[in-house]
Every structure is written in structure tokens, then in C-alpha cells.
Amino acid sequence: MRFTKLRLAGFKSFVDPTELMIEPGLTGVVGPNGCGKSNLVEALKWVMGETSAKQMRGSAMDDVIFGGSSNRPARNFAEVVLHLDNKSRVAPSMFNDAEDLEVVRKIERDSGSNYKVNGKEVRAKDVQLLFADAASGSRSTALVSQGKIGQVISAKPSDRRVLLEEAAGITGLHSRRHEAELRLRGAENNLSRLDDILITLEGQLQSLKKQARQATRYRNLSDHIRKAEALLFHIRWTQSIDGLEVDRDKLKEAESIVAQLTARVAAATSSQAGVADVVPNLRNQESAAAAELQRITLARDGLDGEVKRIEDARLDRVHRLEQVSHDIARERNLSEDATQASSRLASEKTEIEGAQDGEEETIAVAQSKLAEATADVNALEDNHTQLTDKLTRDESERASLSRSVQDLETRIDRLSHRLRELNDQRKHFERTAAETSGLNDAEAILSAAQDAIAGAREHLESTEHTAAASQDASEAANQHLQDVRVALSRLEAEEQALAKVLETGEPEMWPPMIDAVSVEAGFEAALGAALGEELDASSDDAAPVHWTRLDPFADAPALPAGARPLSDVTQAPAALARRLSQIGVVDDVSTGERLAPSLKQGQRLVSREGALWRWDGYTITEGAQTAAAVRLEQLNRLKDVRGQLDGALNLVDQADARALNAREGAEDARDAERAARQALREREAAYNQARDQVAAIRTQIAEQNSKLEAVVAAIETVEHDINEAREQCVESQTSLAELPNTELAREEVMRVREELANKRTVQVERQGIFAGLKRNAEERARRLADIERELSSWRERSEGALQRISDLDERTVQIRAELEELAKRPEEIKQKREQLLDLIDAAEAKRQSAADQLASAEAQLSEADKGLREAESGLALARETRVRIEGAVEQGKQACASIAERVKEKLDCGPDDLAAIAEHEDDTPLPDLPSVERKVERLLRERDSMGPVNLRAEDESNEMEEQIEMLKTERGDLIEAIEKLRRGINELNREGRERLLTSFREVDKHFQELFVRLFGGGQAHLKLIEADDPLESGLEILASPPGKRMQVLSLLSGGEQALTATALLFAVFMTNPAPICVLDEVDAPLDDANVDRFCTLLEEIAAAGTTRFMIITHHRMTMARMDRLFGVTMSERGVSQLVSVNLEEAEKIRE
């Protein structure tokens, strides 16, 4: 399978449709940081089934959709399409029909993603298995993203095992095994729950059987209670009917009394109405007179209030007149203050304008003097700076030369001491170089360790084959045990079912005769046809239908020749002896038809098939099944099953013993395998130790030679440095002697510094004079502006005061006019008051006359009301009596209805049927009510003492038995499925273990070769640690770069770690090549020499196989070695674009 093209649309920064051709050889992807190169790798991982948003550098999977930029709106979906070449037909069966596969993954915002292969929707799991079987996938080792090298370096040994699993191609195997293990655990949990359910149901079944017997007794008690309650309700119904008739007679008498009293109330009401008609008119007249009097009185009171209001208004106008006078005086004062302030401000303005004359000339003179002083200071400062710089340079040079001479002398002493030490080291290395030995002995031990490993591996393979055979034998024994257990379960189920069918019922019933009869196999139909339902009768004389034991016939007639008695093949109680002796059995139907006419009275003939011929001509043809025949067959089958159960139990015990022996044998074989594997690890450890020893000796020799060479080179370097330091020391001493004296220059600097201080004092004084003159001029200008504003404000105040004085004069005239008008009103009010007093006297006389007439009429009305109330009171008492009696009648009706309702509710009948239910005769006197109530209570207590009763217990018992049988069948199927899953998992483990060990050896071989090529020497190898089982072991990396000892990966330098991890990843890749290999900035931590080796290795791998490489890089050397380049740019902010250059074609064009 080959990857040919990747197409993106709306994926992260690739908003526009973009195609990346994946062609043979090396394809490079370049571009600045942040332009979206890694988005191509993530698109490839995403379309291959990546489900983790974190692996996509996002918080949710919707983050892979283009989120918009300053110029582009956000998209609602993203799509990635990967084209595959399947001409080799290596895809899974569901995809293997097509030569070209198009894998599409599309995601819509807030709706999730879906997968399609050649337009057909598939599951994510199907896509993941498609790429896993092709040694690829979203988490494949062939996709080396940024940080993947670091993950391999920092990973635990157990986590590195994933690399071996990918190399062995068992990633898909692992997923299938994991799925099988999940199913196995689920099945085992289901089996455990099923066993618990069966135990629970069997306990419930026994309880239901007890409940069925209790339900029978409950029904009997319920019948007695029904009769007693019917009698109780009959007594209560009779008593209620009698009481209701008495209450109805009382009601008729009460209604007659109410009618008489109603007539008396009507007469009193008529008399009272005549008097009441006169009273309203009199009341209206009295009210009108009182209202007129009240009106006139209020008018008089209103005049009194008007006088007070006029006085209050006059006082208010006087107060307002005084207030206006005060306001006029205040405004006149304000006007005078404004005139005075304006005069004062005008004088101050004149003074300030006089002071401004000549101020510009004074300021100009002061500024000129300040400029002269500043020029003098600047000139002196420049001179002082030049002198100071020259003095500093001379003194610094002198100090530098002195320090240089001192440092050189110190360095010469130090180098001389170092030269002596190096000469001593050279003598020591030359003396000890010849003393190193033991390399040949260590190499001999290493060779012996290799031979021991080969022997241990052969022994391990032998024990593995033995263990596999033992495991197969154990599985076969377990399967046989399971088969015999299933057979035993079936026999037990059949035995229980037959026993259930043949149960005789409850212990208190009479057992039927058929349970005491047994017949030879094959004669069940004959016996059933001969006796039929008569076998259901009991042999107990107390039973209503039973068989009576009689002595045998003294002169019984003989059966026809050719027929033998049925008693010869039947074992039955003596009560059936007479009957069985007169029933003959024939071999076939033709014989029966031939002998039937010869039968004597009472005789019968039957065949094995169930045909019957009776002496009177009654005939039953063969094939007609009878219940008795079926029951007899079931009885015989029950005996056979119980006989087979013993044999089945023996077979189970034997199979269990064989399975135990097989398991013990398999365990012994596994122990031997573990011991052999342990021995192999020990041999490998000894080999590794010997190899480390040889490497250590070689490293020691190389180190000593390297150190000797380094010491000789160091001696030469130190001698050269000593000579060079001595020459530099002589030159520095000469330069120091030639430097001029600095004392005169220092005195000149001090003189200039004093003169500069004097000039700066003059400059500060003139600066103060100039600033004071300028500040006074600015203050005078500000004050003139303030005076103008104040003058304008005072003018506005004066004008406002004059206007307000004019308004107040007008208000004074208005108030005085109002006072004159108020002085005229009191005389008018006095005249109106005298007129109202005359009208009040007349109105009081009229109201008194109307009140006297009304009092007389109301007295008459009171007498009429009293008579009416007495009549109505008598009528109310009579009506209350009638209502009370009506209530008693209604209560009697309700009591009857309540009894009828309770009868309907409890007994489901009417009151007329109670006597029949209670079995009470009409001419028999009724018992007393308390005795019947006590009987009902006693029966209810007796029934309640039984507690809760399940009336459906028998039906539930039958349903539960069916459920138990169904669950037992399911349990057998579940056990069989568990065994199959266990065998499958064991097979997957065995295959995975073999493939993992094979791949480990291949990866180790490739890793050692690649390490030497990438480092230009050294040694390295891989090691399985932490567990005996390869499937659970960890992968440790041991490396020895040139000139260093063997050590674990974490102890190497950063560049060595990166190069070693790269060698491991390529070793895995070479063991199980993938269709595509993506390397995202893997060369970043490598120097130029290692990058060159890395690129050479890539070219060799690409040329040797069919894998297509895509390398994302920033390194110029890597770019130069690519066959083609794709550039990722971001000409528009947030939007990536792809451009391509084919370097091979460009090279051809250039040539």
C-alpha cells in the first residue's frame, strides 16, 4: 500500500483547498516558524483516525476547523482526503476490492466527524485498523512529530515497548486481544451474575411453593368470611329499613304543624306592612327639614370663617410690603458697592500700566549679561573636559600596561608549573601504557557467553513447544470436562423436569394408581390404552374414586391363544390383578383383529402401539396417544435418566481429574519455560557483562593512548604559550617606560576647574536676576487681565441692582391696592349674617313638627314588628323540627345506601342477595348483631394472622421454573463462550510473544548497525527488562559513543541522545517498513556532520525500499539533499499556502 496524495480544505490554517503530492524518495517541507508546516503532519494523523484533541494541539476537536482571521471568516467544516494505492491488495477484506482507496474524514462544527472510504461511510475503528495493518497510523513510529525524539528519550522502558510492538506488526493484534479481554471479563461477570440469579431464583421457587399452599387455606377462610359478612350486612340492612319507616311517619306530622304556623305568620306580615308604608314618607319629611336647617347653619358658619380669612390676607399684605422695603434698601447698597469697587480697580490699573514702562529694555539687558556668562562657562567646560580626558587616557594606559606586565608574569609562572605537571603525566602514561592487558581473556569469555546463549535459546524453544503442547492438552481436557458437564446438566435438567411433571400434587391428596404402576419399556402405550383414565383413581379406600382390592378370579376365562396377559410385563398393586389378568397383549394389529372375536366378556386386547379391541366391539386404532401412556413413558424415561446420571457423574469426576492433571502438566511446562527464559536472560546478562568488559578494556586502552597523545600536544601548546607570554611581557615593559609624566597635566586640570567654578557662580547670579524680571512682568500682565474681568463683573452687578429696584417699586404699588380692597369686605359680611339668623329660626320649627309625627308612626310599627317576630319564631321552631326529622330520614337513606355500597364493594351483590349468600332462611329468626360481629372479627383475625398471601404463587412458580431452565441453558452457552475467548486470547498472546521476540532481535541488529553508522563508531544494543513475559517487559537502551563507556540513554549528552533515539526509530522502521515516514524537524538538535550522516542514511533507506519520506526542516543541508521541496508560506495573516519545487527536475534542466 502506498500513500500518493493528501488534500486539505478548511483544516487549521489551510482554509483553501490544498494538495500535497506524496511521491517516491525524499519530499521536504520548508517555511518560517508559525506558517503551518506541522499542520500538514497533523492533517495526516487526523485522517488516519486520531481521536485526541490534545494530539492536535487543541482543547476540542472543533479546533482543527479554520477559526477565521482578520480578512477571512471562520469555516464550519474541515475535510482531509488521503489517496492510497492498493494495487498490491494488502488492505483489509472490506476495502480490498479496489486498486485505489480514498480515505475521507470530515468534521462539522458542533456535530462531530465522520469517515468515508471510497464514498462509503465507515467507523473510526475500521480506518484505524486499515492503517494499523499497514504498519502505520496516527500514533505510528513512522510519524516522528516535534518532541517525539524527546518522548523516546524520557519514556519509561515499559513505554518504549510500543516501538517493538510496531516493529513486530502486532499493534492490530493488541487491539484485538484487548477487545477479546474486555469481552472475556464481561462474559465472566455475566456468568457470576447468572449464578447469583439462579441461586436466588431457586430460593424464590421454594418460597413460592410454600406460598401456594398458604393461598389455598387463605381462599377457604375467605369463603367463611364472605358468608359471615353477608349475614352481618343482612342484619344491618333489615334494621336500617325498619328505622327509616319510623322516621318517615314523624316527618309527615312535622310538616302539618309547619303549615298551620305559616298561615299565622302571613297575617302578621300583612298588618306590619300597612304600618310600614306610612313611616318612609314621614322619615323623608323629617330628613328634608333637618337638611334645610343644616344648610342654613353651615352658611352662617361660612360667613364667620370669611371674616377670619380677610384679616389673615390683610396681615400678609402688610408683611409683604415691609419685605419689599428691605429688598429696595439692599439693592441700593449693592449698587453703591459696585461704584466704589470700579473706582478702586481703575486706580490699580493705572499704577500697573505705569510700572510696565521700560520693562522690556531691562529684561533684554539682563538676558544679554546671562548669555555672556553662559558662553564663558561653556568654553571653560570644554577646556576642562579635554584636559581631563587626556589625563585619564594617559593614566589608564599606564595602569593597563602595569597590569598586563603583572598578568604576563603570573601566566608565565602558571604555564611553567603546568609544563612540569604535563611532563610528569607523560612519564606516567608512558610507564603504565605497557601494563594494560587481559583483552584476549575477556574476548574468550565473550565467545563462550555467545555459545551459552545459543544453547539457552535452543532449550527455550524446546520448552516453549512443550508448554504450547501442554497448554493445548489442558485446553482439550477442559473442553472435554465442559462437554461432560453440559451433558450432566442436561440430564439433571431433564430429571428435574420429569420429576416436576410427574409430581402427584399436595400431600393431603390421594395418590393415583399410575404412580404405583411400572411397565416394561415399549409397553407404555399398551397399558395406557388398556386402562386410560382409570389409572388416575387412587388405591385408598377413602378416596371418592378408588380401586378396591379383590381376590383373584377362581375360574377366570382364559385369553385367546396368541395373547399373553398384560400382567406379565407390568408390576402393579394387587387391586389391579383382576383387571390386568383379563387384558391380553398381541404382537401386531393383524393378530389383534384376528383374535378380537374370540374375547370373552370383560376381556381386552392391546398392542404395543396402543391399539385396543374390547369384547363388546369397542376399538381404538394404533397411534392414538393417551395421557396414561405418556405418563408411563415419562416414568420409564425418569428411571433411565436417573440411571444415566450416575454414569455421567463418574464421567465428570474422571474428566475433572484429567483436566486437573493436564493443568498441572501445563503449569509445569510453563514453569520450565519460565526457568528456560530465566536461564536465557542469565546467559544474556553474562554475555552483556563480558561484552561490557571487552568494551571497557578496549575503551581503557583507547583512553590511555588518547590521553598520552593529548598530553604531548598539551606540552607543545604550553611551551609555545610560555614563549609568547615572555615576548609580550618585554613589549609591555618597554611601552610603560616610554609613557610621559602626568603631574603637570593634573595641576593644569585643577587650575581650570577653579576658574570654571567662579564663572558658574556669576552665571547663577545673572540667571536669578533675569528670571526675577521676567516673572514680575508676567505677574503684572496677569493682574491687568484680572482687573478687566472684575470691572466687567461689577458693572453687571450695578445694572442688575437698578433693574431689581424698579421691579420692587411696582410690587409696592400693587400690594397697597390689595389692602384698600380688603378693608371694604367686613361690612358686607355683617348684613348677610343677620339675614341667615332669621331663616334658621323658621327651619327649626318645621323640623320639630316632622319629628313628632315620625315618632308616633314608628311606635305603631314597633308593635306590629313584635307580633310578626313572635309568629316567625314559632314557625322557625317548627321548621327546625321538620328539618331534624328530614335529616334523620336522609341519614337512614344514606345508611341504607352505605350498606348497599359496602355490600357491592365487599360481596359484589345487592342487599336482596345477602340472605342467599349467608345461607339464611326467611322463616329463621336473625341472630343478634354483636355475636355476628364477633364471628366476623374472629375470622378476619385468623386470616390476618396468616400475613401477606401471594394468590398468584402457583402461576409465578410455573413461570419461575421456566425462567430457571432458560437461564441454565444460557449459562451453558456462556461457559462455552468463555472457554473459546480464553483459547483465543492464549493464541493471540503466544503469537504476539513469538513475533515480539523475533522483532526484538531484528531491531537490536539494525540498531547496532545504525548506531555505528550515525556515530562513526562506538557500540550500542537493546535489552528487555522488568518482566519475564516479553509482552510485559520494558525496553532499555544501552549506548557507548566513540571514546565513552557503555551507559544508559539518559546519561548521554543532548545531541548523543537525539542521535541514539533516531537510530532506534529507524531500526524499528527498517524492521517493519511503513508506507510513509514523516520527520518533523528531527535534525534540529544535530550539528552539520551528524546532519550529513542523517541525510545519507535517509537516502539509502529511501533507495532500498518503497517508503516515501516527508521531512519538515529548517536546516539548509537537509533542504539540499531533498528530491523535491514544498514551501509553506503565509502571505495572508492566518492563512497557509503551499508551493512546490522539484529539485530533481531542476537539476536535470540545469545539466
Helix (H) or strand (E) holding 1087: none
Residues paired with residue 867 on neighbouring β-strands, in sequence order: none
Helix H segments across 565-626? 577-581, 589-595
CA dihedral sign, ordered 460, 463, 469, 472: negative
**CA-CA distance, 815 to 320, in Å (whole number)?**
8
Edge-to-edge, what's the strand order for the sheet holding 25-30? 143-144, 1076-1080, 1108-1112, 25-30, 1124-1132, 1135-1142
Helix H segments across 596-626? none
Q: Do 296 and 843 touch, CB atoms closer than 8 A?
A: yes
Instruction: Say whether 33 counts as a known binding-site residue.
Output: yes
**CA-CA distance, 542 to 35, in Å (whole number)?**
106
Tell me the residue type at 61: M
Instruction: Say whether 36 counts as a known binding-site residue.
Output: yes
Q: Do 60 and 53 touch, CB atoms closer than 8 A?
A: yes
Q: Give phi and psi for 845, each to the nearest 5.
A: -65, -45
3-state class (DSSP) for residue 1073: coil
Number of other residues whose CB lies within 10 A of the CB of residue 383 = 15
Instruction: Say whether 32 counts as a known binding-site residue.
Output: yes
Instruction: Say whether 650 counts as a known binding-site residue.
Output: no
Instruction: Say whether 1043 counts as a known binding-site residue.
Output: no
Q: Do 583 and 592 touch, CB atoms closer than 8 A?
A: no
**CA-CA distance, 379 to 755, in Å (whole number)?**
11
Q: DSSP string covering 886-953, please?
A: HHHHHHHHHHHHHHHHHHHHHHSS-GGGHHHHHT--TTSPPPPHHHHHHHHHHHHHHHHTT----TTH
Instruction: Say whether 38 counts as a known binding-site residue.
Output: yes
Helices (H) then strands (E): counts for the chain: 20, 22
3-state class (DSSP) for residue 426: helix
**CA-CA distance, 622 to 908, in Å (whole number)?**
51
Instruction: Say whether 729 counts as a known binding-site residue.
Output: no
Q: Do 1128 and 31 touch, CB atoms closer than 8 A?
A: yes
**CA-CA distance, 31 to 814, in Å (whole number)?**
98
Q: What cell was used for 613? A: 379391541
Q: Give phi and psi for 413, each to the nearest 5.
A: -65, -45
The radius of gyration of the chain from alpha carbons, rounded to an integer in Å, stands at 65
- Which of 627, 626, 622 minimizes the C-alpha distance to 610? 622
Helix (H) or strand (E) holding 28: strand 25-30
Instruction: Say whether 34 counts as a known binding-site residue.
Output: yes
CA geometry: angle 715, 716, 722, nearest 5 deg: 85
Q: What cell was used for 622? A: 394404533
Residues paired with residue 1024 on neighbouring β-strands, in sequence order: 1035
Task: Please state the separation of Cα 565 from the chain's center in Å.
Answer: 81
Binding residues for ATP: 32-39
Binding residues: 32-39
